């Protein structure tokens, strides 16, 4: 009895240590995609696959609603639809092969696109040389650390701002810039671009832009319009001068050549009978 008990434990240990492959094949589990960014309330398709020839059990662990879309036992994969994401989560694919279970996880980042990009110029009317503020606000955006707000004047970048902090809930983001009104500001429109770079989370870059705003700059007459008027006046005067010089020259030449002819016409006129010479008017 005691000798059997002595041999029993080492034998069991030996069996476990030396022959792990005899009872169960090693196998692999894959989940695709490997990382994923999904919009709030969005849904995704996930593919779980295994190298196990005859998996006994397959599944996807998640507290969210899921549907098995397709199961291909021959090729050892299953496709699930997971829907209505509300916050960052982990999905777990599992397969059981010869009584052994393996898991593979997928991190899902939930993002919320800015619904609006609101640009405000404060005050909307400003005298040249006076300060004004450009303010851009994006409500309910997530994740904030993926956001860049860019203030633009025409195509020129005035300010780029990134944000920190990994909040669970969507948050508002604001960037402001203090500036001084110049005549240039009158001619160009201001806008604000919100960019969500989801590439580190397995997504894309998503951009939205505000309505363009024009600053009402007043007080001094624009130097540019003064310049345009000056150039126009100088051009017209120059044109008139050159034209009159040319005309003088041409007519002078013409008169010189036909002077004799003119006298002849005059003489013929004088020779006409008086009745014909009276003016018709
Ligand atoms: C799921 O993944 C397996 C293995 O990579 C592949 O053979 C199969 O075509 C995929 N199914 C779908 C629907 O993408
Ligand atoms: C799953 O879907 C059902 C009906 O479509 C819904 O009532 C339930 O709230 C959903 N559960 C989650 C966690 O979204
Ligand atoms: C989606 O989830 C939210 C809460 O996260 C729940 O209120 C809503 O009913 C769900 N919608 C569906 C269609 O399951
Ligand atoms: C501002 O940020 C955008 C988007 O990240 C980038 O394309 C641009 O080059 C940046 N501009 C400056 C001046 O930093
Ligand atoms: C802009 O000016 C206001 C007061 O005029 C000041 O309170 C604010 O901090 C300034 N903002 C920046 C970004 O410099």
pLDDT value at position 164? 85
Q: Which of 176, 177, 179 to mutate to test the pocket of ligand 5 (most atoms within 8 A of CB)?
A: 176
**Pair 149, 192: CB distance under 8 Å:** yes
**Pair 204, 113: CB distance under 8 Å:** no
Ligand nearest to the CA of 64: 2
**Pair 78, 52: CB distance under 8 Å:** no
Residue nearest to atom 13 of ligand 1 (CA): 79
* CB of 86 sitting under 6 A from ligand 3: yes
pLDDT value at position 111? 95
Pocket of ligand 2 (CB under 6 A): 64-65, 84
Query: How far, in Å, from the CA of 134 to the mean position of ligand 5?
Result: 10
pLDDT value at position 21? 44
Tell me the domain boundaries of the chain.
25-111, 118-218
User: 77-83 and 44-50 as β-strands: parallel, antiparallel, unpaired?
Assistant: antiparallel
Write out the DSSP string of 230-253. Answer: HHHHHHHHHHHHHHHHHHHHHHHH
Give CA 161 to chain center in angstroms.
Answer: 14
Ligand nearest to the CA of 74: 1
Question: Is CATH 2.60.40.10 what the domain over 25-111 is classified as, yes or no?
Answer: yes
pLDDT value at position 223? 58
Q: Which of 44, 46, 48, 49 to mutate to test the pocket of ligand 1 (most atoms within 8 A of CB)?
A: 49
pTM to 2 decimal places: 0.68
For residues 90-122, b (16+ Cβ closer than 10 Å) or e, as one string? ebebbbbbeeeebebebebbbbbbbeebebbbe
* CB of 101 sitting under 6 A from ligand 5: no
pLDDT value at position 265? 55
Fold match between 25-111 and 118-218? yes
**Pair 203, 111: CB distance under 8 Å:** yes
The partner residues of 50 in beta bridges, in order of sequence, read 29
pLDDT value at position 109? 93
Q: Which CATH architecture has domain 118-218?
A: Sandwich (2.60)
Query: How far, in Å, from the CA of 58 to the mean position of ligand 2?
Result: 22
pLDDT averaged over 10-residue windows placed end to end, the chain, 281 residues: 41 40 69 94 96 92 96 94 95 94 94 94 92 96 95 96 85 96 87 96 94 87 67 88 88 71 59 61 48
């Amino acid at each position: 009895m005691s000798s059997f008990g002595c041999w029993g434990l080492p034998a069991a240990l030996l069996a476990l240590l030396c022959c792990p492959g005899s009872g169960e094949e090693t196998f692999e589990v894959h989940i695709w995609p490997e990382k994923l960014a999904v919009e709030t309330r969005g849904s995704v398709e996930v593919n779980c696959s295994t190298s196990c020839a005859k998996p006994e059990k397959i599944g996807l662990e998640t507290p969210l609603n899921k549907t098995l879309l397709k199961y291909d036992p021959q090729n050892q994969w299953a496709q699930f639809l997971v829907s209505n994401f509300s916050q960052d989560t982990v999905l777990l694919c599992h397969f059981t092969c010869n009584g052994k279970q393996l898991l593979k996880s997928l991190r899902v980042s939930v993002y919320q696109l800015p619904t609006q990009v609101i640009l405000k110029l404060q005050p909307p009317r400003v005298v040249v040389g006076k300060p004004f503020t450009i303010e851009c606000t994006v409500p309910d955006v997530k994740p904030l650390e993926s956001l860049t707000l860019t203030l633009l004047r025409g195509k020129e970048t005035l300010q780029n701002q990134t944000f920190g902090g990994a909040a669970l809930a969507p948050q508002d983001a604001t960037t402001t810039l203090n500036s001084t009104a110049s005549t240039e500001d009158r001619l160009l429109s201001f806008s604000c671009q919100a960019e969500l770079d989801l590439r580190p989370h397995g997504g894309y870059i998503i951009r939205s832009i505000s309505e363009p705003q024009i600053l009402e700059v007043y007080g001094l007459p624009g130097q540019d319009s003064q310049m345009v008027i000056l150039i126009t006046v100088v051009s017209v005067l120059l044109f008139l001068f050159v034209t009159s010089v040319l005309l003088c020259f041409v007519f002078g030449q013409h008169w010189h050549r036909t002077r004799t002819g003119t006298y002849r016409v005059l003489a013929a006129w004088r020779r006409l009978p008086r009745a014909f010479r009276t003016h018709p008017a």
